[in-house]
Amino acid sequence: MNNKMIDTNDNKSTYSLDPVSEPVDPNQWLTDYNPLMYNEFEEYWEPPISRRGLAKISRANAYHGSLLRARANYVTARFISGGGLRRRQVQSSCQDYFTFGDCAWLKVRNHFGKVIRLLPIPAMYLRIRKNGNFVFLERGKDGLIQQRLMKKKDVIFLPQYDPEQQIYGGADYIGSIQSSLLNKDATLFRRRYYLNGAHMGFIFYATDPNLSPKDEEALKEKIRSSKGVGNFQSMFVNIPNGKEKGIQLIPVGDIATKDEFERIKNITAQDILVGHRFPAGKGGLMPQPGSNFPDPIKVGIEYAKDEIIPVCRLIQDEINSDPEIPSHLQFKFDLATGQEITN
């Protein structure tokens, strides 16, 4: 069995568990990736996009990760029974499905080879071999990665269709990743702007020639103590017999007066919601001035019919069509659209 170290350096600009996978990098669009490469040393197909990178992107901003969890929650909420699974296990599979574009379940067998339950397999560390078998990457006691072999017949694998490759699934939000990163960068830039102390609140400009050094120091101390640490910094300047416009503040790219922060955040938030095909009203966005969101009940019904129930049907069909799954382990979802509420 071959072993491989996991890259755990979180300070790198590219986050990749898989050395030949497309890195999640701000300078790349991520929709153009190389054809799948078979790792002959480890004997499995490398995913086209770093799974570790996709997992890290899910925590990049307030919207992307929340939408992934919301979509998983909506599918999980319709789960009735199946596989001997609890709802939290179904939720983990749904989270993988939306985050990485695929999910998988392991068939647990008894001594007679009969399937007695299903277990979700974390998709981040699941890899596929040329012969259709799977390997699960896990860390050994020595810190190296070990492969646990899973035969093809023991795994139910559900990928989202990717027209460029048919080995792994392709997440449907990839086109909005750059907006997710820009949303994150805008927030980090804003935080650094406030924390670096290099910005100013106001200039206290005096021209009184009779202002004593003691009075000057007292005024400076009052200005310094008027704001808490980390707030806008102010400046005191005394020029005896100074003239009007003796001091001028000429901003160069002044973020305080020409701030694009709110516009960037709003646009990227809309992009992220579009990438997930998620209704703005249910995603926590506030309506723009002069506009209103539609009835949330009707929106929820249509969203369930168009997005949630189809995923429930996909999962249900993939598992229930397996001839080894007995009837008492087959998945059941609530597939009612709730459309009668609007009638």
Model pLDDT for residues 185-210, shown as the tens digit of each residue: 888 887 877 776 555 566 666 777 77
- C-alpha 42/C-alpha 1 separation (Å) is 8
- Whether 111 and 96 have beta carbons less than 8 Å apart is answered as no
Given a cut of 60, whether residue 3 has pLDDT beyond it is: no
53 torsion bin: left (phi>0), alpha (psi -120 to 50), beta (else): alpha
Given a cut of 70, whether residue 95 has pLDDT beyond it is: yes
What's the pLDDT at 243?
A: 67
| Better pLDDT: 145 or 12 | 145
- C-alpha 343/C-alpha 340 separation (Å) is 5
CA angle centred on 57, ends 101 and 63, rounded to 5°? 95
Model pLDDT for residues 131-174, shown as the tens digit of each residue: 999 999 998 888 888 999 999 999 999 999 998 899 999 999 99
User: How many residues does this entry show for the chain?
Assistant: 343
Distances (CA, A) of 187 to 20, 61, 99, 190, 227: 30, 8, 23, 5, 23
Give the distance from CA 176 to its chain's centroid. 10
* Mean pLDDT, rounded, for 251-266: 65
3-state secondary structure string across 40-96: CCCCEECCCECHHHHHHHCCCCCCHHHHHHHHHHHHHHCEEECCCCCHHHHHHHHHH
pLDDT band at 21 (very low <50, low <70, confident <90, very high): very low
- C-alpha 171/C-alpha 160 separation (Å) is 7
* Mean pLDDT, rounded, for 7-19: 37
Q: Residue 167 burial (CB < 10 Å; 0-12/13-18/19+)?
A: buried
Domain ranges in the chain are: 1-172+285-343, 184-262
- Whether 44 and 167 have beta carbons less than 8 Å apart is answered as no
What's the pLDDT at 217?
A: 82
What's the pLDDT at 319?
A: 98
Tokens found for residue 216: 């000057």
| Local structure of residue 11 (DSSP, 8 states) | T
- C-alpha 112/C-alpha 326 separation (Å) is 14
Tokens found for residue 250: 């000429």
User: Which DSSP string corresponds to 262-326?
Assistant: HHHHHHHHHHHHHHTT--TTTTTPPPPTT--PPPHHHHHHHHIIIIIHHHHHHHHHHHHT-TTS-
